[in-house]
Amino acid sequence: EAGVAQSPRYKIIEKRQSVAFWCNPISGHATLYWYQQILGQGPKLLIQFQNNGVVDDSQLPKDRFSAERLKGVDSTLKIQPAKLEDSAVYLCASSRGGEPLHFGNGTRLTVT
Amino acid sequence: GQSLEQPSEVTAVEGAIVQINCTYQTSGFYGLSWYQQHDGGAPTFLSYNALDGLEETGRFSSFLSRSDSYGYLLLQELQMKDSASYFCAVRDSQTGANNLFFGTGTRLTVIP
């Protein structure tokens, strides 16, 4: 089966600019996650979707981050405006529910 | 909330055995997972323990003791390609979403 697809692979922006990331999960996976991984740390959950509904967004900085999952398939994560501390790898993962999570290769964001 | 502790770095010799420990604190424990991540790559699932005891998958084994809030990952017959970061993660039901929370990771270096 095809894996989780993410784009772009790399993105460099200036602070206060906007950026969007795209994720296409594995076909048939109802659950989709966005994680933020700062260099040298473990992935931190930002938001979890079940189909096209948000299950948990308690750790999403809602003043600047937003995410949606259209028709329960693809998802986009947006940051507006970006801050220097947003520099990280943004990982998308999907699952049928529970283990295992299948991760994409991530988008490496650098904010200058 | 959740907290996980694991050693930050471990070095071992090719062909040897290494154990990576993880202690956790969580309010709604469902299970302990292990993921491997090579530099620049996506986290990949290794194992999951929901019940006490040892789970074996090839060269990798994972152990869980729920009474001690403790688990470990055992890697046998180490190979150079095992050099990577290893994350323990707990599935926590506190938010009602049954989310996966990651530790800070253990960087394993395998030397000849």
Give the model's pLDDT for residue A82: 97
Please determine, for residue B98, whether its predicted confidence score (pLDDT) is greater than 90.
Answer: no
Preceding amide of B7 cis, omega within 30: no
d(CA A40, CA A13): 21
d(CA B78, CA B87): 17
Preceding amide of B112 cis, omega within 30: no
d(CA A95, CA B53): 25
d(CA A97, CA B63): 22
Query: By the CB < 8 Å criterion, does B62 face chain A?
Result: no
Give the model's pLDDT for residue B97: 61
Question: With bands split at pLDDT 50, 70 and 90, how would you rate the model's confidence at B91?
Answer: confident
Mean pLDDT calculated for residue range B56-79: 96
Give the model's pLDDT for residue B94: 65
Taking contacts as CB-CB distances below 8 angstroms, the residues of chain B near A99 are: 31, 33, 45, 48, 91
pLDDT tens-digit series, residues A14-54: 999 999 999 999 999 999 999 999 999 999 999 999 988 99
pLDDT tens-digit series, residues A67-106: 999 888 999 999 999 999 999 999 999 999 878 999 999 9
Decide: B88 and B71 in contact? Cβ < 8 Å: yes
A56 Cβ partners below 8 Å, 6+ apart?
A45, A47, A48, B95, B96, B97, B99
Taking contacts as CB-CB distances below 8 angstroms, the residues of chain A near B43 are: 43, 91, 93, 101, 103
A103 closest CB neighbour out of B43, B98, B104:
B43
pLDDT tens-digit series, residues B2-44: 789 999 999 999 999 999 999 999 888 889 999 999 999 999 9
Question: With bands split at pLDDT 50, 70 and 90, how would you rate the model's confidence at A8?
Answer: very high
Across chain B, what does the average pLDDT equal?
Answer: 93
Across chain A, what does the average pLDDT equal?
Answer: 94
For residues A1 and B85, the model is more confident at B85
Share of chain A above pLDDT 90, in %: 87
